A and B are shown apart, each in its own frame.
Chain A
Amino acid sequence: DAGVIQSPRHEVTEMGQEVTLRCKPISGHNSLFWYRQTMMRGLELLIYFNNNVPIDDSGMPEDRFSAKMPNASFSTLKIQPSEPRDSAVYFCASSPDRVMIGELFFGEGSRLTVL
């Protein structure tokens, strides 16, 4: 299996622009997670899905952030409009188990820089 695939790997954009990050989880995994990592705050859970349904989005910073999972093999995280404080590495991760996570499998991350 190719593992969790994220794109783009790097994105540099200007404040106010829309940013869309993409994720393809491992085939057969039921749960998908979006995390944000910064030096100041470490790894923060933004949102997670079970069987394509959002379960907990309490970590989404504000209305500028939205996430979707239209099917079992694709998810997006959108930031509109972007701000410099959104600069971070965004990780997508998937897990085979619905109730008890066990191991999370992480993608390589998308490094976002907002100027």
Chain B
Amino acid sequence: EDKVVQSPLSLVVHEGDTVTLNCSYEVTNFRSLLWYKQEKKAPTFLFMLTSSGIEKKSGRLSSILDKKELFSILNITATQTGDSAVYLCAVEAGPQGGKLIFGQGTELSVKP
């Protein structure tokens, strides 16, 4: 059965800290891995990764994929209270593609 596992499930840090969120997966026909941020409502897209070892970066957020070890990390440097959210990892898999499987999410709380 395809599965995506995130860790930790929750995390509390203070502003300015750096955090690393983890995502491991076991799926058939891996195609891509995506990270989303979910605040009060719908998830919003952060990154899509398809190749190992290539870091994607957007401001204080960065992510990298390891297709050999089947995991990805999401780093957030110099955290701010606005980074408080649930971070979701999703993997696109399946023989025809198009099937996006989500992990449980990591709930990040950034304290002032």
Residues of A within 8 A of B (CB): 31, 33, 35, 42-45, 48, 50, 55-56, 91, 95, 98-109
Taking CB as reference atom, which chain B residue is nearest A104?
Answer: B100
Known: A43-B88, A43-B102, A45-B101. A99 touches B96 (CB 8 A): yes
Chain B proximity of A103: nearest CB distance (Å): 4
Chain A residues with CB under 8 A of B88? 42-43
Q: How far is the CA of A43 from the CA of B59 in the complex (A)?
A: 27
Q: What class of interface size applies to chain B in its complex with A?
A: 20 to 34
- Report the minimum CB–CB distance from A58 to chain B (whole Å): 9
* Contact yes or no, A42 B103, CB < 8 A: yes
**Contacts A42-B103, A42-B105, A100-B31 given: A108-B41 contact, CB under 8 Å?**
yes
- B99 in contact with A56 (CB, 8 Å): yes
- A99 touching B98, Cβ below 8 Å: yes
- Any A CB within 8 A of the CB of B92: yes
Q: B residues bordering A, Cβ < 8 Å?
A: 31-32, 34, 41-45, 48, 88, 90, 92, 94, 96-105
Contact B98 A31 (CB under 8 A): yes
Contacts of B90 in A (CB 8 A): 43, 104
Kindly state the separation between the CA atoms of A91 and B43 in the bound complex, as whole angstroms: 10
Task: Determine whether the beta carbon of A109 is less than 8 Å from that of B104.
Answer: no
Q: How many Å lie between the Cα of A106 and that of B92 in the bound state?
A: 16
Nearest CB on A from B10, distance (A): 12
User: Do the beta carbons of A48 and B98 come within 8 Å of each other?
Assistant: yes
Taking a contact as CB atoms under 8 Å apart, the answer to whether B42 and A109 are in contact is: yes
Contacts of B48 in A (CB 8 A): 102-103
8 CB contacts below 8 A, A to B, read A43-B105, A45-B102, A55-B96, A99-B98, A100-B97, A103-B48, A104-B90, A107-B42
